[in-house]
Amino acid sequence: MLYRSKLLQATAIPQAMAVPKERAEEVHVRGSANAAVTLEEFGDFQCPPCGALEGPLRQIERDYASSLRVIFRNFPFTNHEHAHEAAYAAEAAGLQGRFWEMHDLLYREQSVWAKSSDVQSLFDAYAGMIGLNLERFKKDVSGEQVKAKVEGDRKRGEALGVRNTPTIFINDESVPPTSLNPTALRAAVDAAVKEKTRS
């Protein structure tokens, strides 16, 4: 199926793999800086399974607030008509310090804007709703900086073997697609937290 992730082995990120380096401020992180567990998601804002996983993932974030840090990476697919525009909108919001607000809004309203014939005006409206400087947002969203950021995320994903979205790594271990459901993901986070607590 188009949106179903192919079965991947739960593998650690090879150390020798050519994963692009980036500055800390370029990474979108939510959660405690001292968290024992890092969950890294490669997502596409127009991918329905990513949208479906967003709610449960937010709940897990809240429940493991002190021990979990979440990183989001863009991995938009070209077969999703507005996925790149959505990623650019999120990154443009990030340039004004509101990446996560736009991220949450894009996922929550996914079914609406995905069908829109004038998606950019809707993204502009979202930007207004979350209190962005609209002129700057409009300029940034078509700028090279956000495109470079999205491309950087995509390259990192490809280097890590990401082929589908959502793809999630917990402490650099990829989570099998069969575990990308609320119960199994919670169990995986819980196991990682316990393992870190023991060691």
Partner 1 sequence: MKNNRATSKPGGNAIAISRSQIVIYAIVALISLAGLADATYLAVQALTGETMVCGGSPDCFKVLGSPYARIGGVPLAFIGAVAYFCVFSFAILAAFGYARVRRFLLFTVWSMFAVTLWLLYTQAFILHAFCRYCLFSAAMVFLLAGLIVASRSP
> β-strand 167-170 against 173-174: which pairing, if any?
antiparallel
**Per rule CB under 8 A, is residue 55 in the interface with partner 1?**
no
Structure tokens at 22: 């980036």
Sign of the dihedral through C-alpha 145, 146, 147, 148: positive
Cβ neighbours, 10 Å, residue 75: 26
The stretch near partner 1 (CB under 8 A) out of 27-35, 69-77, 112-120, 176-184 is 112-120
The residue within the footprint of partner 1, chosen from 40, 85, 91, 101 (CB under 8 A), is 101
The residue within the footprint of partner 1, chosen from 113, 140, 154, 167 (CB under 8 A), is 113
CB of 99 to partner 1, least distance (A): 13
Cβ closer to partner 1: 101 or 140? 101
- Enumerate residues 133-162 that contact partner 1 by CB under 8 A: 134
Sign of the dihedral through C-alpha 101, 47, 120, 79: positive
The residue within the footprint of partner 1, chosen from 39, 53, 105, 193 (CB under 8 A), is 105
Structure tokens at 151: 């491309």
